[in-house]
Structure formats: C-alpha cells, structure tokens
Amino acid sequence: MNANPELLNAIRSIPDYPKPGIIFRDITTLLGDARAFRRAVDELVQPYVGMKIDKIAGIEARGFILGGALAHQLSAGFVPIRKKGKLPDKTVSMTYSLEYGEDEMEMHVDAVKQGEKVILVDDLIATGGTAEGAVKLLRQMGADIVSACFVIDLKDLPGRKKLEAMGVEVRSLVQYEGH
Ligand SMILES: O=P(O)(O)OC[C@H]1O[C@H](OP(=O)(O)OP(=O)(O)O)[C@H](O)[C@@H]1O
Ligand SMILES: Nc1ncnc2[nH]cnc12
C-alpha cells in the first residue's frame, strides 16, 4: 500500500516516544527535506486541483505547516483549529478524545461560513479523536467538509473508519501498521 518510498524514507521513527510502546512518526525530517516536503504538498493537493475549495482547516500544531502550503496551492483561505485558550476573538469549542483522556479545541466563530467547502488537514491520523472533533466543530459552523487528508495513517488504529463513518472522505500518503 505504501507506493511512496521517498516520503516513507523522509519520515523519522522514534521508538518509545513519548512513552514506552509508541513509535513516534516524526515529520520534521520530511519538512526539512526540500524535495520531500514539496512532494508531500504536491501529492496532498493533487486530488483537489480544479475543485472550488473555500478553506483549508489545519489542526494545531503540525496541521498548520501543511495547511498553509495547501491553502496557497489551492488558492483557499486557511482556518486554524487550536487548542483551548489560544484564539483571541469569539470562539466555538469542542471536546475531543485522546488516547488517554480528553482535551478541547477551538475555532473562531466567523472562520467558516455556512456551506463553504472545506478540506481538513493534519500530519497524522491515529485514533481519529482529534480529526473527529475538528469535523464536528466545522460542521457545527455549517462547513461542507469535502475531504480530510493526512501525510500519515496509522492504519491499525480506527481513525480512518471513524471519519468515513461520519461521511468524510479520507486520504493519506503513507500508511504504517501498528501504533
Ligand atoms: O488521531 P488521534 O489519535 O487523535 O491523533 C492524531 C493527533 O495527534 C498528534 O497531535 P498531538 O495531539 O500530539 O498535538 P501536537 O500536534 O500539538 O503535538 C497529531 O498531530 C494529530 O493531531
Ligand atoms: N505514533 C504517533 N506518531 C506521531 N504522532 C502521533 N499522534 C498520535 N500517535 C502518533
């Protein structure tokens, strides 16, 4: 399924980070490799070229880096979905589940308008709790979520299925087995 050795080789895997048993898939090495970064952005953008996309919504923190590039390429606006307490104006918030526990994310109430076509982006989908929260938040504000895209899908975890069950198309460039 991994048709993309250049991207795979550019991602660094750190065993036992942030805790024993987790292999952390670190995209900073991909971002620091000009060719791989460009390729990742080009491949993320490719399915949407020619579509009228109003906004790219990026999830803090790593989704911001990719989201800015995608927004530029697709001539779309960018919407930051942030951890609680970081946005200065009126916000809407959503509680979301993490592997252990819960957290809260926010976006500005005026960040998307009813019916706007939005693509959600993050570096990685695992349990899908974070992306699920972002989809709920965007839909609450009337967004039409066209697709969600990720560099990495940890495919033994239920993230993709969770989003698909919500009616969201999911795309990823590199898939890993295990956690
Ligand atoms: O599918 P999930 O199980 O929800 O996990 C995926 C999320 O985990 C990571 O972010 P993290 O929570 O580590 O935050 P950070 O980007 O601010 O470090 C990653 O960038 C995704 O946002
Ligand atoms: N294995 C992993 N590597 C990097 N980020 C993650 N977020 C959740 N699981 C992760």
Q: Per-residue pLDDT tens for 95-154? A: 999 877 899 999 999 999 999 999 999 999 999 999 999 999 999 999 999 999 999 999
Q: Which residues partner with 102 through β-bridges? A: 97
Ligand 2 pocket residue status of 126, Cβ below 6 Å: yes
Residue with tokens 């198309």: 169
Could you tell me the pLDDT band of residue 20, with boundaries at 50, 70 and 90?
very high
48, burial (CB in 10 Å: exposed 0-12, middle 13-18, buried 19+):
buried
82, burial (CB in 10 Å: exposed 0-12, middle 13-18, buried 19+):
buried
Ligand 1 pocket: which of 130, 153, 161 to mutate (most atoms <8 Å of CB)? 130
Could you tell me the pLDDT band of residue 178, with boundaries at 50, 70 and 90?
confident
pLDDT digit string, tens, across residues 4-16: 899 999 999 999 9
Q: Which ligand is closest to the CA of 120, given by its number?
A: 1
Q: Which ligand 2 atom lies nearest to the CA of residue 26?
A: 4
Task: Write out the two tokens for 27.
Answer: 């995209």
129, burial (CB in 10 Å: exposed 0-12, middle 13-18, buried 19+):
buried
Residues taking part in catalysis: 62, 99
Vertex 123, ends 8 and 84: CA angle to 5°? 160
Measured CA to CA, the distance from residue 46 to residue 13 in angstroms comes to 26
Q: In the prediction, which pLDDT does 119 show?
A: 99
Closest CA to 106 of 130, 132, 137: 137
Could you tell me the pLDDT band of residue 56, with boundaries at 50, 70 and 90?
very high
Residue 1 has pLDDT above 70, yes or no: no
pTM: 0.97
Q: How many helices (H) and strands (E) does the chain have?
A: 6, 9
**For the chain, what is the mean pLDDT?**
96
Q: In the prediction, which pLDDT does 108 show?
A: 98
Ligand 1 pocket: which of 24, 96, 98, 124 to mutate (most atoms <8 Å of CB)? 124
Provide the angle, in degrees to the nearest 10, between the axes of the packed helices 34-45 and 62-73: 60
Could you tell me the pLDDT band of residue 30, with boundaries at 50, 70 and 90?
very high
ipTM of the complex: 0.97
Measured CA to CA, the distance from residue 116 to residue 143 in angstroms comes to 5
If you average pLDDT over residues 74-92, what whole number do you get? 98
Q: In the prediction, which pLDDT does 68 show?
A: 98
